[in-house]
Amino acid sequence: MPGAPGARRSVGQKWDQGLAAVAMEKQWTKPQILEAYLNLARRSGGDLQGVGAASEILFSKSPAA
pLDDT one-digit tens code per residue, 5-53: 556 778 999 999 999 999 999 999 998 888 777 777 655 456 667 778 7
Structure confidence at residue 1 (pLDDT): 46
**What is residue 30's three-state secondary structure?**
helix
Angle between helix axes 51-59 and 30-40 (nearest 10 degrees) is 70
- Say which residues have a Cβ less than 8 Å from residue 38's Cβ, sequence separation at least 6: 48, 50, 51, 54
Q: Note whether 57 and 43 are within 8 A (CB).
A: yes
Structure confidence at residue 29 (pLDDT): 93
* Higher pLDDT pick, 56 / 46: 56
pTM comes to 0.47
pLDDT at 4 over 70: no
